[in-house]
Amino acid sequence: MSEKVKLSAIEQHIIDFVTEVRLKNDLKQEDIATIIGVGRSFIAKVEDRKHRAKYNLNHIDKLADHFGLSPKDFLPEKANKYI
C-alpha cells in the first residue's frame, strides 16, 4: 500500500543537494532541522522517497545562509536537467 511518491526533477535535485551538503559536513538530519526550524521527522520524511515532504524556498534560503551559499546553488544549472 505504501507507494513511492513521484517528485519533479527539480524537487529531487534539491533534496539530493541538501542531503549531499549534510553528509559532506558530517551533519545529522536533526542539525538540518535546527537550521531551518523544523522537527527532525520532517527531514526524515523529505529524504524518504515514500513521503511528499519537500523543502520550500524559505528552507533553501536558511540553508544557503548557514552554509555560505547562494539559494541558486541549490538549483540545477538548466531547466529539466533530468528529463
> In this model, does residue 4 exceed pLDDT 90?
no
In tens, the pLDDT along 44-82 reads 999 998 898 999 999 999 999 999 999 999 999 888 655
In the predicted model, what is the mean pLDDT of the chain?
91
What is the spatial distance between Cα 45 and Cα 83, in angstroms, rounded to a whole number?
Answer: 24
- pLDDT value for 3: 60
Q: How confident is the model at residue 2 (pLDDT cuts 50, 70, 90)?
A: low
Q: Exposed e or buried b for every residue in 11-22, given b needs 16+ CB within 10 A?
A: ebbbbebbeebb
